[in-house]
Structure 1
């Protein structure tokens, strides 16, 4: 579940729930004695956990059952500092063993991360076999693997979420919503009934839905490719009929007061648990068990949701949370063995994600892996499942039913792969143009996507500047690379 899909750091810190969407924190480096052991360091974004010492004693005891000479030491860096500090580490060549990967494709192509392809087969074959095959397609860079993915939401789907407190209070029927356009009546009805609450929670960083299209360079750059494979041309999303239709709807909502007047610059946090909003866009995946994660983040308050885009297994989801080994690491073998342990040992993953048994959680049905959280469970006592390890090895809350688990597995099995899965463009030939394009987008992207500006004339101005910035050159190179990718499949 990701608020506005604004970027990994923002998505991770927007809301906290008790399942895959739960926000994880880092940990203290205090992992006990390292005498006689190979200490494997792992950098993660987040703050130190309150129960870190006890947690690491359990984790290392489990690791050492299989690898007696290894000790894991986790080093946290706050979410706000992680990207910048980690990039400094990469640029300076500071050695580390494992780290939550940033700028995965670019860093891999620059040689910052170790090639894991053979290491995985030698030292983490079991963990490899338990990961959905789509991940291994999606994380390859130039045919090699440089990051071990977290087996979790291999696909995500975009949802229109409504505040259930208000749909009930004002008797607003949202059962027929399947798109932005079909939500207009609900927006109008709510705005008429209650002028004190924001109808549509949109702020700076929001991106309008482009169902069926994937951004090979992130949604900050105006390039998309059809996920179904029916259209094989690299396109400008702002010229697509589906995008312009959604932008026109958003602009209409803005003009009618359904979207905040300062949306293009606002950093307001419309927290899920607060009743400061009526509608919003969220994403979820199979390990969120329908609305379970959203309800957890909302503190149990009611909500209603509708899927507004068909899901695909795509590259961006497979690369959402990965761990890389530094090319300069002196313990590559041991680092891979740690990843194998985390991703295959149930006691390790459940201790890291749920906390200490008896303090943060307890079994309600041990035979079936059902648990409930205790008063001691909070954001400072566990890591986020979405960025820790194989989610199929996690115990589930006793509120998650067998039917939901079956639905999860069937959805993962039946969701198609995007035609672009595994397409990771090389950026070396158009760095200058990308910088120029980024500068143009910084002027227009929030104005357009929040509905603030009239989309047609604003896009025309933007497109003229994009052409000068080198959009055609980048498009042509991306097209060539994508054609080569398709030919090799």
Structure 2
């Protein structure tokens, strides 16, 4: 479940750069006098409170297949991960495994180990279990540089409502299917409770067009049509759809539905609290509707209404990717760890659900049905969306076989975006992209939160984009996209 803001965002104790450099892939003697290869695995988030027991069980399971490997997870707080990760990458740190950021750009720079053959040689069991759409999505210049987490290969963005307030004020959301259709619900709630955020958005929020992909990420304006009907690379902010959505949000902002400081705010509207009426969330088939959100909120009820179309997209294929440093001394062992995390049910579930006997127990082991305990709380497990093949996860006994069968059918039937597999080569465009990013940084938050009047703001932004090199980048992207579609 990937969200506008991560559910569990906090600042954990952060490792210094010197620590990063010395912690990667050491040799460790075991009690029998032998030697084990320590595979270091860097990831964003807080260290679980039950980490000692969790990693002990994990290594016991890993060593049933790979006796010489010992896994060591290294946690860096969400707020500092990107910065620390960039230091690791640019310094050539010989880490073994790391949760990637800016995957395509970094892969193009050659900082990751080439997994094209490694994955098939040392992790074939896991490789074969991954939806082919993922391998299309992580292929850069014909090669694979990261191992994707097989999870929500397609997703929708939707507006999630706090059921507590829906019930309290008897608010009808049956007709919600777009930003525009939110008006009646927003108006009623805001009148009843103006002190609570009607639409809880803030800095970093992006409007979601119904069927668009952003080949350079949604921090830049370049977009393509997911349906493939339009084969042009265009400025999303110049389309009637996005302009209409931004105008709608601007009206909501003026009416007080959106927090006044949204463009600069980093306020956390925690799922389990009543500080919000609605928010935007991303959901896929493994979320079983609102089940994943409700679990993350400790049982708090929510209802989500989709506002985008489901596609197996480039963006979804790159939600969670693990890479091996090009300078790692233990590429084989790192690949074998990925193999286990993406093929071994016992290993994965005792990380994602917490520990059997503590955070959960089987209700039907043969069917992989479990029931969580009171000890299943944030801080005692690691999100499945970033850890391993979600098809291996046990399901709560409240999830029916019908839901599971529907999930599988939905994945099978989901359409692939026309841009799935399109990873542009921006080597010749670095200066222009930097300049364009600087322009967009001035406008993204004020436009997407509804703070600014979109018509004059977009006109001003477009003029600055043109000066910064928009036309050159657009032409090169169009050339590459035409070639991509031709050879697809």
TM-score by length of 2: 0.93
Aligned equivalents of 2:44, 2:29: Cα separation in 1? 23
User: In the alignment, does 2:245 pair up with 1:246?
Assistant: yes
Structure 2 equivalent of residue 57 of structure 1: 56
Structure 2 equivalent of residue 212 of structure 1: 211
SS in 2 for 1:206: coil
Aligned equivalents of 1:234, 1:301: Cα separation in 2? 41
Aligned equivalents of 1:322, 1:445: Cα separation in 2? 26
Structure 2 equivalent of residue 104 of structure 1: 103
SS in 1 for 2:462: helix
Q: CA deviation at 1:54?
A: 2.2
Q: CA deviation at 1:383?
A: 1.4
Asked if 2 retains the 8 angstrom alpha-carbon contact of 1:132 and 1:151, the reply is: yes
Asked if 2 retains the 8 angstrom alpha-carbon contact of 1:157 and 1:285, the reply is: yes
- Deviation string, structure 1 residues 138-195 (Cα, Å, up to 9, x no partner): 0000111000111111111011112212222222111011111111111112222222
SS in 2 for 1:264: coil
Aligned equivalents of 1:377, 1:295: Cα separation in 2? 13
5 Å-filtered alignment, 1:254-333, equals 254-333=253-332
Structure 1 equivalent of residue 426 of structure 2: 427
Aligned equivalents of 2:85, 2:191: Cα separation in 1? 48
- Residues 261 and 86 (structure 1 numbering): CA distance in 2 closer, same or farther, change over 3 Å? closer
Asked if 1 retains the 8 angstrom alpha-carbon contact of 2:27 and 2:36, the reply is: no
User: In the alignment, does 2:85 pair up with 1:90?
Assistant: no
Asked if 2 retains the 8 angstrom alpha-carbon contact of 1:31 and 1:72, the reply is: no
Structure 2 equivalent of residue 472 of structure 1: 471
5 Å-filtered alignment, 1:15-414, equals 34=30, 35-414=34-413
- Residues 301 and 355 (structure 1 numbering): CA distance in 2 closer, same or farther, change over 3 Å? closer
Asked if 1 retains the 8 angstrom alpha-carbon contact of 2:298 and 2:377, the reply is: no
| Contiguous gaps of at least 5 residues in structure 1 | 5-9, 16-22
Q: In angstroms, what is the RMSD of aligned CA positions?
A: 2.1
| Contiguous gaps of at least 5 residues in structure 2 | none
Greater displacement, 331-340 / 462-471: 331-340
- Deviation string, structure 1 residues 236-259 (Cα, Å, up to 9, x no partner): 011111111111111111122211
Q: CA deviation at 1:406?
A: 1.3
SS in 1 for 2:73: strand
Aligned equivalents of 2:203, 2:241: Cα separation in 1? 21
Structure 2 equivalent of residue 416 of structure 1: 415
Aligned equivalents of 2:266, 2:85: Cα separation in 1? 25
Structure 2 equivalent of residue 19 of structure 1: none
Q: CA deviation at 1:53?
A: 2.5
Query: Which of residues 3, 6, 17 in structure 2 aligns to 1:11?
Result: 6
SS in 1 for 2:206: coil
Aligned length: 475
- Deviation string, structure 1 residues 22-73 (Cα, Å, up to 9, x no partner): x9x99x9899855412222222222322322322222222222222222222
**Where does structure 1 differ by over 4 angstroms across 4 or more consecutive aligned residues?**
28-35
Aligned equivalents of 1:342, 1:395: Cα separation in 2? 14
Asked if 1 retains the 8 angstrom alpha-carbon contact of 2:200 and 2:279, the reply is: yes
Aligned equivalents of 2:350, 2:76: Cα separation in 1? 21
Q: CA deviation at 1:380?
A: 2.6
5 Å-filtered alignment, 1:432-451, equals 432-451=431-450
Aligned equivalents of 2:129, 2:391: Cα separation in 1? 9
- Deviation string, structure 1 residues 400-423 (Cα, Å, up to 9, x no partner): 121211121111111101000011
Aligned equivalents of 1:13, 1:376: Cα separation in 2? 17
TM-score by length of 1: 0.93
Asked if 2 retains the 8 angstrom alpha-carbon contact of 1:32 and 1:53, the reply is: no
Greater displacement, 155-164 / 370-379: 370-379
Asked if 2 retains the 8 angstrom alpha-carbon contact of 1:126 and 1:340, the reply is: yes
SS in 1 for 2:282: strand
Aligned equivalents of 1:115, 1:72: Cα separation in 2? 21
